[in-house]
Amino acid sequence: MIPRRYDRNIASLGMEGQERLFLPFKSVRHVLVAGCGGLGGGVVEILARAGVGTLTLVDGDVFSESNLNRQLLAKEDNFGRLKAEAAEARVKEINGHVNVWAVPHMLTEDNCQSLLAGVDLAIDALDSNLARAILYKGCKEAKVPVIHGALGGMIGQVGRYRPWEKTHFDVFEGSLPDAGIEEAAGTPSFTPYVIGALEAAEAIKYLAKVEEIRWGTLTLVDLAIMSMETLEL
């Protein structure tokens, strides 16, 4: 029996699609979210409300005052709190059906493979290309697909990758710096929510099996001029 909280989902995803997210005997339902800040906080919120059955939330960072303008989980009274633990608490507040585990550590080569065990999809909500490289290497070895997100200023991007095939790292051939343009361009309050919502949408479509995912593509979003373009890698 599907709870009525998912009625509006079912109208779009169908009963079988919602069951794939919610019921434990369905195959695709465990998501690892790497990064629980600006992008990840919004992604976690949407996945929990959608009813994705199992979430593993990875982030070793803590909240600070500079996070308040854009990070959903940042509050004036939680400076110094671990982001992964705050994300876990938020999931439990809004959906008790979801199995959720906080991993209050940075993603490393030592822990990546164990964290990916049993995972069906990884969400890249990271702000470091070095950490992304670790995640993608682990996902390549474990054959776990990745939904990628990144942003800076009013510009963002969303990728759909099978790392054993191709990612944007293969296109740029190691020329990417560790950090993107976020520090120089800033991050207005709205950009993380748009990019995070697009990441979550791709994840839910994949998990519910309601739409074909265009693997090996990267969507560029410019909110200054309200444009969106999808490129084949």
- On whether the CB atoms of residues 41 and 78 are closer than 8 A, the answer is no
Beta-bridge partner residues of 150: 157
Whole-angstrom CA distances from 190 to 66, 196, 215, 223 are 15, 10, 26, 9
| pLDDT of residue 178 exceeding 90 | no
All structural domains of the chain: 4-137+187-213 (3.40.50.720)
Instruction: Give per-residue pLDDT as tens, 33-76.
Output: 999 999 999 999 999 999 999 999 999 999 999 999 999 999 99
The continuous run of DSSP H or E covering 231 comes out as strand 227-232
Confidence of residue 3 (pLDDT cuts 50, 70, 90): confident
pLDDT, tens only, 98-154: 999 999 999 999 999 999 999 999 999 999 999 999 999 999 999 999 999 999 999
* Entry pTM: 0.94
CA-wise closest residue to 158 among 58, 48, 42, 63: 42
Site of tokens 């074909």? 212
CB count within 10 Å of CB 130 equals 12
Q: Is the model more confident about 21 or about 159? A: 159
